[in-house]
Amino acid sequence: MLKFISLGLSLFLFLSFPHPLQSSEVFPYNYKIEELENGLKVVSVPLPNPNIISYYTIVRSGSRNEVEPGKSGFAHFFEHIMFKGTKKVPRAAYDDFLTRLGAGTNGFTTDDFTCYFTIFAGRENLETVVETESDRFINLYYDEEMLKTEAPVIEGEYYASVSNPGRKLEEILRDTAFTAHSYKHTTLGYLKDILDMPNQFEYSQLYKKRFYAPDNSILLVVGDFDHNQLMEYVRKYYSSWEKSNYTLVTPTEPPQKEAKRVHSPWPSRTLPRLAIGFHGPAFSDENIDKPALDLLAKIAFSPSSTLYQKLVLKEQKCLTLDASFDDARDPSLLTFTSIIKKDEDLPYVEEEIFKELDRLKTEPVSAEPLAEVKSNLKYSLAEELGTTDGVAGILAFYLNLTADPGTLNKLFGLYEKVTPEDIQAVARKYFDKSSSTVATLSEGKTQ
Amino acid sequence: MSKTMNRWLLGILFTWIVFMSMACQKENPNKLTSEFLPLEGNPLVQFKILVKVGSSNDPTGKEGLTQLTFSMLANGGTKAMTYEDITKAFYPLAASVSVRVDKEMSVFSGTIHRDNLEKYYAIFKEMLLNPGFREDDFNRLKTNLLDFLGKTIINNMDEQFGKEILSLMLYEGHPYHQIPAGSVETVSGITLEDVKAFYKEQMVQGNITVGLAGGYPADFPAKVTADFSALPQSFTPQLSLPAQSLPQGLQFIIADKQTPATAISMGFPVTINRSSKDFFALWIAGSHFGEHRQHVSLLFQKIREQRGQNYGDYAYIEHFIQGRDKFPSTNYCRQQQYFSIWIRPLANSNRHFVIREALLELKRLVDEGISKERFEMVRTYLLNYTKLYAQTLNERLGWQMDSHYYGYRDFLAEVQAQLPKITREDVNRAIKKYLNFENVYIAVITQDGESLKKALVENTTSPITYANPNMPNAVLDEDKIIESYPLQVKPENVRVIPAAEFFKKAGLPR
């Protein structure tokens, strides 16, 4: 049968960088950072990838900023409001603009930031994108009725995940583990606060004034454009954006003194779930603790780990076993999760996880798994950096943390330095059972 | 001359030789095909092994066999290595093998950094060509599949549940009749011997397309082709599918469970697929009516933007699986397709209204077609938006493979050539020819299904309320029309079935 071979333009469509992969320079692209007088940072990464541009606006405000009672979920709600348009370009005209541009566009909200992205083809469209995007950040216009119509959409988004037990488990884990800090609630927020969003017009104006400002935002542009041309457009269209000068004070989470436990019954048949959380440090590309914990989590819970091989593959007690530790601006939770096959095995899996954490305190990890995890992290990142939008997506997270693309190389430099002793030290420091929170979910009658 | 230039010339020369030799070769359905997308300098290599075998090839009574067999390859050991060994070997490479089974095709995929190509491929090829078929892998993967069917899909993922019920309704008595995962009864009956026999029968050259993209060495395609040519020369004939027919009237299945939110999927067969010349016109209509997760969608504008009733509302003219955030996934090619509407979960109190709203909008689409302004806007939109479809290696290679399945050299290039020629009249003609609003399958996941059935059959008025006391009059006036829009629903066409009854046996619960 005939073989098909594509050549031609496709030869030029992908990013390339030197290989084999260097250990110290995992982010291989040149970038520039400039700052306007109003405080707006602009990070540009021109790439030799014809025709595609990823245009990201990072507002350093997420559910972390929801420090006042009754306001959980507000950062995410405001992300929706940001699509309401301006007097110059009302919503319908904004939609028409994006439609004709054929752009892929959306937003997302995390614990720490809210991100708006527009991916489009054609460098000739860059100026209109800069003009239109700057307009909605500077001149957003919506009235109370528009807000009231949008609020139930959040309720709908809540419903979209209501059948997902993973979301429920995360909700109860956070709510139990944190007492003061706003990481206590998920990005979506508590249902009671979601239901009250139609009444929050005044607060929404205050929220916008505090956080949607150039001194709290970063513009990230990746792809096929000229940096100087970009900056000419940015100065032209963003310079009138006024500073906020607002300083957020997030509550300090007091040390947890006693182990906590919470359970949620699920109203129908489900595989039981377990999550164990410990309070960990904030992201840092200077202190060794967070990178050491990242590596520890992977050594102990990745598919190649002893515990995974035992519980998932050999004994087949678990469907999944995982660890997650988000890079966060404030101290956040290091969480170990598992979907278990039988209810009666929940205590056993919990015990095995604690035993493994205790073992890490007393036995230094050997050099081989440490090297394998470092290798895994490098190659995983290299794959994610394979396209224009991949580069933008990764950078957005790190820019939120440090406003510097160089943080990626710094972080991976720290990974290289982590020793078995560092891992043992952080295991002792952070995995005290009295500071743990265990959350479980299994079939049972709800209240 | 630089080394880079030498590699370039060598690559081009090699490609030309392979192309010419293959072009001169007579088609042999018993031999494998291949798809190569060389990208000099790219640090990654993408593998895709496409197998023209899917859940429709499951023997009757063994539904789920394709899924379980191919899972054994992607998530099980080889003759020489246990799966534990493989996970350990893959981990430092950040490597994996994934598999996805659809109705008529399945695809094994893996991405690897070029540094690790040789190490990865040595295991990858053994996983597919010399699987271990160990009892412990079989027990693990079979249990996982049974848990998915008996617990997870019914209780943990209502939107997917709704789509799968729609699929069961669309294809009763048809080779597409079962979801790839099968059913609890049929998967329970599958033995390891069944799996081995199915592998032997179906993993044959003529069923396989070997795909490679990225920065692989010039001689690598020949090596991979030679390795996979060790499979037996044979092929499974493409399924001969019966003609599809529309449902008679509005046919509902309501899956009843305790839930605060209602998930809805609706649809009916369409008689064309991507290879048809009418596809492009119908595509414009589908995008206008319900482009996936984009503001251009009319349903999104009406249900979410104007009324705030849920998170999103979309429509598709072919089977659609969401890949990444927005763009369609590749390698889901089918001979027969269907039109569908996906209404994302909404408050139970609004379910009747929104079912009416979606069907009324569909009626308006069929009766009135697309306006001149919208036609021009959506056509421009698609011309630009599709330029974003193929960004990753996986997407690039996938679109290339799918292009050839449907008879195009490059489908995305064909989009750029064909859309400018489409007229508004073409679109409206396609809407009339392929879409309808009276004969539709509707799957609803909700609570207290009997009360919804009663309301549907009796055509009870279904007014809704808003948090905003000052909704625009235009919306409220339209609501008056929607809330009493008569649906012709016969009681015998509404089945309320407890959610737990689904997927116990193959097909719809009796």
Mean pLDDT of B345-374: 97
Answer yes or no: are the C-beta atoms of A299 and A427 closer than 8 Å: no
Residues of A with Cβ-Cβ distance to B111 under 8 angstroms: 383
Regarding whether A322 and A232 lie in a shared domain, the answer is no
Pair (A168, A281) in one structural domain: no
Mean of pLDDT values over B163-181: 95
Whether residue A251 lies inside any domain: the answer is no
* Candidate from A19, A156, A163 with C-beta closest to B114: A19
Element (DSSP H or E) covering residue A401:
helix A388-402
> Could you say which of B27, B143, B468 has the minimum Cβ distance to residue A148?
B468
Are A340 and A196 contained in the same domain? no
Indicate whether A33 and A176 sit together in one domain: yes
Choose the final residue of a domain: A238, A270, A288. A238
**Residue B314 exposure: Cα atoms within 13 Å on the Cβ side:** 20
Please state, in angstroms and as integers, the Cα–Cα distance from residue B23 to each residue in A165, A187, A394, B15, B97, following that order: 53, 56, 42, 12, 31
The share of chain A scoring above pLDDT 90, in percent, equals 87
**Between residues 190 and 229 of chain A, which touch chain B (CB distance below 8 Å)?**
198
Are A172 and A300 members of one domain?
Answer: no
| CA–CA min distance B43, chain A (Å) | 6
- Helix, coil or strand: residue B264: strand
Q: Tokens standing for A52?
A: 């595609």
3-state secondary structure of B496: strand
| Residues B315-340 pLDDT 10s | 999 998 765 567 889 999 999 999 99
Residue range B198-210, pLDDT digits in tens: 999 999 999 999 9
For B158, the closest of A121, A122, A163 (CB atoms) is: A163
**pLDDT at residue A429 above 70?**
yes
- Residue in B4, B84, B154, B284 to test binding to A, most A beta-carbons within 10 Å: B84
C-alpha span between B125 and B479 (Å, rounded): 59
CA distance to partner chain A, nearest, from residue B433 (Å) = 26
Question: What ipTM score was computed for the predicted complex, to two decimals?
Answer: 0.91
Domain count, chain A: 2
A97-113 burial, b at 16+ Cβ within 10 Å, e below that, comes to: bbbbbbbbbbbebbbbb
Closest partner residue to A319 among B25, B144, B301, by Cβ? B144
Q: Does A115 map to a domain?
A: yes
> Over B347-397, what HEC string results?
EHHHHHHHHHHHHHHHHHHHHHCCCHHHHHHHHHHHHHHHHHCCCCHHHHH
Using DSSP's 3-state secondary structure scheme, residue B66 falls into: helix
Tracing tokens 């330095």 back to the chain, one arrives at A417
Question: Taking 70 as the threshold, does the pLDDT of residue A401 lie above it?
Answer: yes
State which residue of chain B sits closest to A4, comparing Cα positions: B35
Specify whether A121 is located in the same domain as A174: yes
Average pLDDT value for chain B: 93
- A274 and A203 assigned to the same domain: no
pLDDT, position B2 = 45
Structural domain includes residue A429: yes
Determine how β-strand A41-46 pairs with β-strand A52-59.
unpaired
- Looking at the fold, whether A217 and A338 belong to one and the same domain comes out as no
A91 within some domain: yes
pLDDT at A11 over 60: no
Q: Which of residues 327-346 of A touch B (CB under 8 A)?
A: 341
Least confident range from A9-13, A153-157, B72-76, B212-216: namely: A9-13
Kindly give, in sequence order, each residue whose CB lies less than 8 Å from that of residue B413, ignoring residues fewer than 6 positions away. Answer: none
Nearest C-alpha neighbor of B434 from the set B314, B301, B343, B316? B316
pLDDT digit string (tens) for B445-481? 999 999 999 999 999 999 999 988 889 999 999 999 9
Residues 6+ apart with CB under 8 A from B122: none
* pLDDT tens column, A216-244: 999 999 999 999 999 999 999 999 999 99
Distances (CA, A) of B377 to B13, B277, B381: 44, 21, 6
Closest partner CB to A19 (pick from B115, B154, B347) = B115
Residue in A25, A101, A136, A163 to test binding to B, most B beta-carbons within 10 Å: A163
The tokens describing A146, both together, are 């528009």
Per CB-CB distance under 8 Å, the chain A contacts of B304 are 153, 156
Element (H, E) at B479: helix B473-483
* Rounded CA separation B49/B126 (Å): 13
Q: Is residue A221 part of a domain?
A: yes
- Select from B39, B87, B93 the Cβ nearest to the Cβ of A303: B87
Same domain, A401 and A288: yes
- Give the pLDDT mean for A317-343: 96
- Which residue spans within A110-199 are E strands per DSSP? 114-121
Contact B396, B35 (CB under 8 A): no
- Model confidence at B295, in pLDDT bands (50, 70, 90)? confident
**How far is the alpha carbon of A274 from chain B, nearest alpha carbon, in Å?**
15
Residue B411 Cα, gap to closest chain A Cα (Å): 12
Q: For residue A325, give the CATH number of its domain.
A: 3.30.830.10
pLDDT of residue A412 exceeding 80, the answer is yes
Q: Which residues of B touch A105 (CB under 8 A)?
A: 294-295
Question: In this structure, are A279 and A402 located in the same domain?
Answer: yes
Predicted local confidence at residue A5, as pLDDT: 34
In a domain, A4, yes or no: no
pLDDT of amino acid A254: 97
Question: Which residues lie across from A108 on neighbouring strands?
Answer: A115
Q: Answer whether B380 sits within 8 Å of A11, measured CB to CB.
A: no
Torsion angle in degrees (nearest 10) through CA of A275, A279, A281, A283: 30
| Chain B residue closest in CA terms to A373 | B92
Q: What is the pLDDT of residue A4?
A: 34
pLDDT (0 to 100) of residue B294: 84
Query: Are A321 and A436 in a shared domain?
Result: yes
Interacting residues of B245 by C-beta distance below 8 A, sequence separation 6+: B269
* Interface touch B115/A21, C-beta < 8 Å: yes
Across the interface, do B381 and A99 touch by the CB < 8 Å criterion? yes
pLDDT digits (tens, 9 = 90+) for A286-326: 999 999 999 999 999 999 999 999 999 999 999 999 999 99
- Residue among A2, A52, A95 whose CB faces B388 most closely: A52
Contacts of A370 (CB under 8 A, 6+ apart): A295, A299, A418, A419, A420, A423
Q: How far A242 CA lies from chain B's nearest CA (Å)?
A: 29
Q: What percent of chain B has pLDDT over 90?
A: 89
Query: What pLDDT score does B325 carry?
Result: 60
Q: Is B26 a residue whose pLDDT tops 50?
A: no
Q: What percent of chain A has pLDDT over 70?
A: 94
Count Cα atoms within 13 angstroms, Cβ side, for A82.
30
* pLDDT beyond 90 at A161: no
The answer as to whether A14 is a domain residue is no
Residue A3 pLDDT grade (very low, low, confident, very high; cuts 50, 70, 90): very low
Say whether both A34 and A117 belong to one domain.
yes
Domains of chain B, CATH where assigned: 28-228 (3.30.830.10), 250-501 (3.30.830.10)
Strand ranges in B204-288 using DSSP code E only, listed in sequence order? 208-214, 250-256, 261-270
As a residue count, chain B comes to: 510
Report whether B159 contacts A160 (CB < 8 A). Answer: yes
Residue indicated by tokens 């396609």: B430
Instruction: Tell whether A22 is within 8 A of chain B (Cβ).
Output: no
| Phi, psi (deg, nearest 5) at residue B417 | -85, -40
Beta bridge partners of B444: B254, B264
Q: What is the pLDDT of residue B21?
A: 41
Which domain does A389 fall in, by range?
260-443
| Stretch B227-250: mean pLDDT | 95
Chain B CB contacts of A163 under 8 Å are 155-159, 161, 259, 261, 263, 345
A291 lies in some domain: yes
Residue among B344, B371, B177, B378 nearest B261 (CA): B344
